[in-house]
Structure 1
Amino acid sequence: MNERANVMRLLAVDDDPIILELLDEIIRATSDHELLTASSAEEAIEVLGQHSGSLVDCFLLDIEMPGMNGIELCQALRATEEFRTTPVVMLTGRGEKEYIDCAFAAGANDYLTKPFEVSEINRRLEATRLRADQLTALSTSELLAEVPSEIGLFEPIKIFDVDNVVDYFSLENYLPSLPRQSLFGAVCLGIQVRRVQEIHEMVSGYNFLGLIEDVAETISDALRDYECLIAYAGNGTFVVVFDSKGMPKTSALTDQMNLMLQKKGTDAIFAAGRKIRLICGDFVRVMSNNSERVQDSLIRAQSSADKAATEREHNLDKFWFMGQVAQ
């Protein structure tokens, strides 16, 4: 982040000079942000090379451009260590679900369609700035710690290079970005690690991080045939967003994921022999593109998974207790 508080250095990439000029006018008139521009992905890469050492805090990317398109540029940025977590906002005329899905899967954090209102782009940039501040704080804390000896149970864990896994901030932005008909066809599913609090207390921060990464890969692999986005929400819980036209049966999905974890040997590697098991909650339908209602849907999916995990462990404890009494 720029040394001046609340100020970002932005790089806008668009082959339409009118859009770049409009963005420049908006940024100058409404903020102290610094704006760099490029008319193609290739030129953007050149600009980044010329400003190596001068951090870019946020990218604004058009999708349809000659040569490398914006989604491919986003993927290229995410493949670098320098811009692996830098916020990316897609600013495009394409509002179809297939483009939105591809953009978020490639690593975009937000999506805004043209034509846009000044107030809306300012709101998105402010949310992006706050997210950039959070990422900077996390990166700083990681640099200060030689090893992650402790990771909070509810701490956001960054997961890289797993298909269709995005950060939770991006998932919150994904749903309101969808066309209305797609949004009202979306459902959320919570998937939780059972007895996660006990496991968290037993293992090191390094092993807990490894466990969450292993679970992310397992969920991604189990859902490879479905159109979905996956995010880690903390507390050993993942949230998956599906199109209601293609959803798995939760009982079969649970069995498949647990079998995959068993084959991975996750129990022995990350939890000192304790069995790692996942459980699904109920599907929660998204009924509004209002940001607060979207967040409520995601939270209800997490709560459903937590409730399912608690009930499952209670029933197992009751089963074993009754068995001991019978003896």
Structure 2
Amino acid sequence: MKILVVDDEPIFLELIKKYLGAMGYNDIHTVPSAIKALETIGKSQRSFDCCLLDIRMPDIDGVELCRMIRSLPGYGAVPIVMITSMTDKSYIDHAFQAGANDYVTKPIDTTELSARMGMVKALVAERANAGRLTKELEETSFGGHGSFKFEDSLPLEDAGDTVLLSSLENYLLRLGNIRLLGSAAVAFHVQNADLIYDQTDLLEFADIMCEVALAIKECLIGVNHLLAYVGSGDFCCIQPRTGYFDTSEFQIAVNDKVAQRLGALEWMNVALPALKVGNPCSNGLVSFNDPTDLIYKSIHDARKQPGKILGSRNSHLERSLNVG
């Protein structure tokens, strides 16, 4: 695995290189700044498989560097782990919103670092799968979906800072139930997604879900949030827990945005996505549930909201929705 480590502290770079080497990672490249990191990436003949970025650096900090790396060709799904001595939720939120997949804290604990690198390995495998899906998006002829299933999650790289489902799950796991007390999950269910899936090929379906994601994000302007496409026409958003959220008003607003973006679909004999919006879901003060259960709890709530049901399809995901 080819790893890039960026930190402005030379001693730390030597230390983490030693730790990673002891874990069997030997192709490690270290640089002291964001500028050097971008230069190294630009000159590299083969893409890096993973980037570890210190958050606090002069000039360009790690969060901004993360955002810049994500914009580079071929780096949309490369695992990025932030290095930080700051575990305040706001810093972690900004890092994940910029495209980070995980974080490790200073001073480095080798057990934690090993666990985070285990996560990176899983993401590298997922990236290979996402590469397969991207290739299918480019090659699948009209009417086909390749190996992609309706229940599968989609990497919506063209939908702003929408995150992968695995990153959203990891974000919840890393925060844990206590720090999640200030957050809520809101789900959006495209109730006729199965019909749209049947009417389109893989590329068209992905484009439509991307436009739906952008419509949702337009309605969330000014709200700190993380949004992921879960599969089966379901989106989940993690946002601050507030005292007031009008589900009905939000549902009208997001469907209006969808109509503005995708109104031409009706001329193509493709159904216009119709969304249901769930109520904000959160964990109680004392919760022993897996933090990721919050995703499926919110989806369950969105699916049971009133709306014009245009079709549904049983899937393995629905068996995961029996949460709380």
Q: Report TM bin, short chain.
A: 0.7 to 0.9
Match of 1:30 among 23, 28, 41: 23
Corresponding residue number in structure 2 for 1:210: 207
Instruction: Measure how far apart 1:203 and its partner are.
Output: 2.0
Cα 1:171–1:287 change in 2 (3 A) is farther
CA deviation digits over 1:14-40, x for unaligned, max 9? Answer: 111222122112111122352211111
Looking at structure 2, the residues matched to 287 and 79 of structure 1 have their Cα atoms a distance apart, in angstroms, of 38
CA deviation digits over 1:193-230, x for unaligned, max 9? Answer: 01222221122222211110110000000111222111
Looking at structure 1, the residues matched to 114 and 266 of structure 2 have their Cα atoms a distance apart, in angstroms, of 46
Looking at structure 1, the residues matched to 113 and 61 of structure 2 have their Cα atoms a distance apart, in angstroms, of 21
Looking at structure 2, the residues matched to 119 and 287 of structure 1 have their Cα atoms a distance apart, in angstroms, of 30
Instruction: Measure how far apart 1:312 and its partner are.
Output: 5.2
Q: Give the TM-score normalised by structure 2.
A: 0.85
Aligned residue-pair number:
306
Instruction: Measure how far apart 1:171 and its partner are.
Output: 1.0
CA deviation digits over 1:72-121, x for unaligned, max 9? Answer: 11111111112121111111112222222221111111122222321111
Tell me if 1:73 matches 2:70.
no
Looking at structure 2, the residues matched to 89 and 290 of structure 1 have their Cα atoms a distance apart, in angstroms, of 28
Match of 1:313 among 309, 313, 322: 309
Looking at structure 1, the residues matched to 289 and 24 of structure 2 have their Cα atoms a distance apart, in angstroms, of 26
Corresponding residue number in structure 1 for 2:314: none
Cα 1:247–1:173 change in 2 (3 A) is farther
Residue 5 of structure 2 aligns to a residue in which SS? Answer: strand
Instruction: Measure how far apart 1:246 and its partner are.
Output: 6.3
Residue 24 of structure 1 aligns to a residue in which SS? Answer: helix
Tell me if 1:297 matches 2:294.
yes
Match of 1:281 among 278, 281, 289: 278
Match of 1:42 among 35, 44, 64: 35
Looking at structure 2, the residues matched to 125 and 247 of structure 1 have their Cα atoms a distance apart, in angstroms, of 40
Cα 1:134–1:176 change in 2 (3 A) is closer
Contact 1:267 1:274 in 2 (8 A): no
Cα 1:287–1:120 change in 2 (3 A) is farther
Cα 1:49–1:238 change in 2 (3 A) is same
Tell me if 1:92 matches 2:84.
yes
In terms of fraction of residues, the more helix-rich structure is 1
Greater Cα shift, 183-192 or 154-163? 154-163
Alignment of 1:139-150 (within 5 A): 139-143=131-135, 146-147=139-140, 149-150=144-145
Q: Which amino acid aligns with 1:173?
A: N
Contact 2:140 2:201 in 1 (8 A): no
Contact 1:266 1:276 in 2 (8 A): no
Q: Which amino acid aligns with 1:139?
A: G
Tell me if 1:16 matches 2:13.
no
Looking at structure 2, the residues matched to 250 and 208 of structure 1 have their Cα atoms a distance apart, in angstroms, of 26
Looking at structure 2, the residues matched to 22 and 290 of structure 1 have their Cα atoms a distance apart, in angstroms, of 38
Q: Which amino acid aligns with 1:233?
A: V
Looking at structure 1, the residues matched to 183 and 98 of structure 2 have their Cα atoms a distance apart, in angstroms, of 20
Looking at structure 2, the residues matched to 287 and 242 of structure 1 have their Cα atoms a distance apart, in angstroms, of 16
Corresponding residue number in structure 1 for 2:318: none
Q: Give the TM-score normalised by structure 1.
A: 0.84
Tell me if 1:237 matches 2:237.
no
Larger Rg: 1
Corresponding residue number in structure 2 for 1:119: 111
Match of 2:225 among 191, 216, 228: 228
Looking at structure 1, the residues matched to 34 and 158 of structure 2 have their Cα atoms a distance apart, in angstroms, of 22
Instruction: Measure how far apart 1:154 and its partner are.
Output: 1.8
Instruction: Measure how far apart 1:185 and its partner are.
Output: 1.3
Residue 305 of structure 2 aligns to a residue in which SS? Answer: helix
Contact 2:188 2:277 in 1 (8 A): yes
Looking at structure 2, the residues matched to 246 and 175 of structure 1 have their Cα atoms a distance apart, in angstroms, of 21
Instruction: Measure how far apart 1:180 and its partner are.
Output: 7.1
Gaps of 5+ in 1: 1-7, 315-327
Q: Which amino acid aligns with 1:29?
A: A
Gaps of 5+ in 2: 311-324
Q: Which amino acid aligns with 2:4?
A: L
Match of 1:253 among 250, 262, 266: 250
Q: RMSD of the alignment, in Å?
A: 2.7
Corresponding residue number in structure 1 for 2:313: none
